[in-house]
């Protein structure tokens, strides 16, 4: 009886172990792959009515006209309302900006009224285009190649996971027209467990050949913002 009881006990333990092993084997199937996370983060950004976007770089190469900073609310009209800091002819200038219906209106320094401008004159894109579901910032996520998933880290109160890789230049040039279309850009995204893009960092030849690589950091917060943006 002792032998029989011992055999039954061993069988019970083995059965329990197999059951637990089966549960563990199922867990990876529930885990999203890096490509699935990036696609889900794109969907989150594309579906939110509006979001606060801050695009910035510490400096531009000498003699280059371009954008130093953009800070405002972007919606999927697409539209943008906020401010730009640009460098042109070696001089930096801040401007209030409203971009909607394909027209960028700016209140430039020493002026009191909004006037239509061509952002290309300042080496800048139409900021409303940043929110395009096709060809906008969200397209960077699903265009990333050679993706590597990093460890989770803290960004303030947020717990995010880092994803690194490269983004083709033609995708970047669709957002920042002065970028080199034939060179890959190094990219780093941080994404929350809820598939929310928190930050994107891109490094590469954003400006004409011969100039230094530039790093732009793009921060996203206030997902779910609703804002009616109208031409001034």
Angle at 202 between CA 200 and CA 207, to 5 degrees: 140
pLDDT at residue number 27: 45
89 part of a folded domain: yes
89-139: pLDDT as tens digits: 778 889 999 999 999 999 988 888 999 999 888 888 899 999 999 999 999
Asked if residue 175 lies in contact with residue 135, where contact means CB atoms within 8 angstroms, the answer is: yes
97 part of a folded domain: yes
Read off the pTM.
0.84
For residue 146, CA distances in Å to 96, 166, 179, 189, 202 come to 38, 7, 21, 13, 15
CATH number at residue 136: 2.50.20.20
pLDDT at residue number 108: 85
pLDDT at residue number 52: 98
pLDDT at residue number 55: 95
11 part of a folded domain: no
For residue 191, CA distances in Å to 186, 217, 228 come to 17, 14, 27
29 part of a folded domain: no
181 part of a folded domain: yes
6-37: pLDDT as tens digits: 555 444 444 444 444 444 444 455 789 999 99
86 part of a folded domain: yes
Domain extent, residue 41, equals: 34-221
pLDDT at residue number 18: 43
204 part of a folded domain: yes
Domains of the chain: total: 1
73 part of a folded domain: yes
21-78: pLDDT as tens digits: 444 444 455 789 999 999 999 999 999 999 999 999 998 998 888 899 999 999 999 9
């Amino acid at each position: 009886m002792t032998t029989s009881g011992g055999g039954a006990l061993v069988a019970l333990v083995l059965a329990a172990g197999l059951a637990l092993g089966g549960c563990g084997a199922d867990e990876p199937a529930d885990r999203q792959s890096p490509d699935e996370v990036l696609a889900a983060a794109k969907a989150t950004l594309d579906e939110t009515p509006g979001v606060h976007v801050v695009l910035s770089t510490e400096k531009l190469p000498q003699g280059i006209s371009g954008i130093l900073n953009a800070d405002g609310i972007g919606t999927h009209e697409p539209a943008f309302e906020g401010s730009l800091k640009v460098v042109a002819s070696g001089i930096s200038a801040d401007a209030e900006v409203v971009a909607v219906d394909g027209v960028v209106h700016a209140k430039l320094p020493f002026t009191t009224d909004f006037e239509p401008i061509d952002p290309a004159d300042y080496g800048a894109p139409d900021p409303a285009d940043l929110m395009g579901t096709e060809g906008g910032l969200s397209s960077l996520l699903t265009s990333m190649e050679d993706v590597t998933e990093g460890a989770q880290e803290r960004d303030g109160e947020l717990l995010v996971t880092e994803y690194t890789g490269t983004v083709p230049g033609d995708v970047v040039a669709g957002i920042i027209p002065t970028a080199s279309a034939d060179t890959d850009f190094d990219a780093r995204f941080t994404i929350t467990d809820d598939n929310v893009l928190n930050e994107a960092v891109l490094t590469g030849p954003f400006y004409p050949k011969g100039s230094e690589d530039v790093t732009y950091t793009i921060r996203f917060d206030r997902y779910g913002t609703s804002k009616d943006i109208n031409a001034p």
